[in-house]
């Protein structure tokens, strides 16, 4: 971490978290944030659901909700980017404050509620996206929508021409009743609409499904079955959790979704079960507590073809991306793996 990055993070930590995040995005757009140097190691090149990635370390949804910093983020050495969530119509989200740091736990709680500029505005920014990056969009539903399932297809129709992948997000805990769409019949109907919208697009878009970490084994197995039957291209495991276990920070009492280090083991168990349920045939993306190369490697060995991070960036800055890639390459070399794909799922039986 450079002196500039360390000083910038120290300054941001003295501010309200949401204001600090907005300033960080602004600084990124203005070219004031040091970007990681490339990590050139052939072991890191991989494939995710047919998408060629320079490395398996992606940016999770929520960091750039409105796709305002696509250029700088594409130069920050991520293997792929996910922006959003986007809803058909703009909405302000939940009242502030709605973002809370838990520094003693290396975690964050948010209850944003899909605040975004709306699909039309986001589509205009995506139209000017860097063409040499792999970019996807997290799909959401408006809080007051009479048909939330239809909202996902609507966003895909608007933004799909500019995407490489789209993630169906029915697992955010911050929009009341949204997680009910994870149920078998409801999810099947929603995915049917999304797949129909995809069929209308002129270029192929991979469809991912993001699941909650708070599902029991039977519910997770049912979701995996529905996803496979619907032709979903990959599953993202996992979203934030509503659980509060063994936390030290005062802000742990806040409502919302918990992300960061406390989610690591819970999300790894979900990853491993999904890998077992799908026989290792469904590509998986591991999210939750990715703040080091060792953490990324553990998710890959649990069954993930790629990983995503967000919370770790708020504590360690963008230089974390380069460190994860360097350390991940070292882990692969140490264990004799010539490429990321060779390590996928090799440790899933350690997570039960």
Q: What is the pLDDT of residues 88-112, one digit of tens each?
A: 999 999 999 999 999 999 999 999 9
Q: What is the pLDDT of residue 180?
A: 77
Q: What is the mean pLDDT of residues 168-173?
A: 87
CB 83 within 8 A of CB 320: no
Let me know if 319 is a catalytic residue. Answer: no
pLDDT band per the 50, 70, 90 thresholds, residue 183: confident
Residue 170 has pLDDT above 80, yes or no: yes
Residue 141 has pLDDT above 90, yes or no: yes
Q: What is the pLDDT of residues 210-236, one digit of tens each?
A: 999 999 999 999 999 999 999 999 999
Q: What is the pLDDT of residue 131?
A: 95
**What is the residue whose two structure tokens read 């069954």?**
303
Q: What is the pLDDT of residue 135?
A: 98
**Overall residue count recorded for the chain in this entry:** 352
Please list the alpha-helical segments (H only) found in the chain: 3-12, 17-29, 70-74, 119-127, 148-159, 184-199, 217-230, 264-277, 293-302, 311-316, 319-334, 340-343
Q: Which of 172, 249, 252, 319 is catalytic?
A: 172
**How many whole angstroms separate alpha carbon 249 and alpha carbon 265?**
19
**What is the residue whose two structure tokens read 């995915």?**
191
Query: Which residues, 6 or more positions from 344, have their beta carbon under 8 angstroms from its beta carbon?
Result: 280, 300, 301, 303, 304, 305
**How many whole angstroms separate alpha carbon 156 and alpha carbon 329?**
35
Q: What is the pLDDT of residue 4?
A: 85
At 83, list the tokens: 């922006």
Q: What is the mean pLDDT of residues 29-33?
A: 93
**What is the residue whose two structure tokens read 């039977």?**
218
- Phi and psi at 158, nearest 5°, equal -75, -45
At 236, list the tokens: 């993202």
Residue 174 has pLDDT above 90, yes or no: no
CB 238 within 8 A of CB 266: yes
Q: What is the pLDDT of residue 284?
A: 98
Q: What is the mean pLDDT of residues 306-318?
A: 97
Residue 178 has pLDDT above 80, yes or no: no
Residue 352 has pLDDT above 90, yes or no: no
Q: What is the pLDDT of residue 1?
A: 84
User: Could you say which DSSP state residue 138 is in?
Assistant: E
Biggest CA-to-CA distance, the chain = 53
Q: What is the mean pLDDT of residues 122-131?
A: 97
Q: What is the pLDDT of residues 35-82, one digit of tens each?
A: 998 899 999 999 999 999 999 999 999 999 999 999 999 999 999 999
pLDDT band per the 50, 70, 90 thresholds, residue 351: very high
CATH of domain 3-350: 3.20.20.70
Q: What is the pLDDT of residues 318-345, one digit of tens each?
A: 999 999 999 999 999 999 999 999 999 9
CA torsion sign for 179, 184, 186, 191 is: positive
Look at 177-181, 260-264, 345-349 and tell me which has the smallest mean pLDDT: 177-181
DSSP three-state, residue 208? strand
At 81, list the tokens: 């980017």
**Other Cβ atoms within 10 Å of 200 Cβ, number:** 10
DSSP three-state, residue 80? strand
Task: State the Rg of the chain over Cα.
Answer: 19
């Amino acid at each position: 971490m450079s002196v500039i990055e360390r000083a910038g993070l120290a300054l941001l930590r003295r501010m309200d978290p949401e204001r600090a995040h907005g300033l960080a995005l602004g600084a990124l757009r203005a070219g004031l944030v040091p970007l990681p140097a490339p990590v050139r190691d052939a072991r890191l090149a991989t494939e995710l659901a047919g998408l060629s990635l320079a490395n398996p370390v992606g940016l999770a949804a929520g960091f750039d909700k409105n796709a305002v910093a696509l250029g700088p983020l594409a130069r920050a050495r991520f293997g792929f980017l996910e922006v959003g969530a986007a809803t058909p119509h703009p909405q302000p989200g939940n009242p502030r404050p709605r973002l809370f740091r838990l520094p003693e736990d290396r975690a964050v709680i948010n209850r944003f509620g899909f605040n975004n500029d709306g699909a039309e505005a986001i589509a205009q920014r995506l139209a000017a996206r860097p063409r040499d990056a792999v970019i996807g969009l997290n799909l959401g539903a408006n809080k007051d929508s009479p048909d939330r399932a239809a909202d996902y297809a609507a966003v895909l129709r608007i933004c799909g021409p500019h995407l490489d992948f789209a993630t169906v997000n029915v697992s955010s805990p911050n929009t009341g009743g949204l997680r009910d769409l994870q149920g078998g019949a409801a999810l099947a109907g929603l995915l049917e609409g999304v797949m129909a919208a995809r069929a209308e697009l002129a270029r192929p878009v991979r469809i991912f499904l993001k699941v909650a970490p708070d599902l029991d084994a039977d519910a997770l197995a049912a979701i995996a079955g529905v996803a496979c039957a619907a032709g979903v291209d990959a599953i993202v495991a996992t979203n934030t959790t509503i659980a509060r276990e063994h936390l030290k920070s005062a802000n742990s009492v806040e409502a919302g979704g918990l992300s960061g280090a406390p989610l690591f083991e819970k999300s790894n168990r979900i990853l491993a079960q999904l890998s077992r349920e799908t026989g290792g045939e469904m590509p998986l993306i591991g999210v939750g507590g990715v703040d080091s190369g060792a953490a990324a490697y553990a998710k890959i060995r649990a069954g993930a073809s790629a990983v995503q991070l967000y919370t770790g960036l708020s504590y360690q800055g963008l230089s974390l991306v380069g460190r994860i890639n360097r350390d991940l390459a070292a882990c692969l070399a140490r264990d004799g793996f010539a490429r990321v794909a060779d390590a996928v799922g090799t440790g899933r039986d350690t997570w039960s």
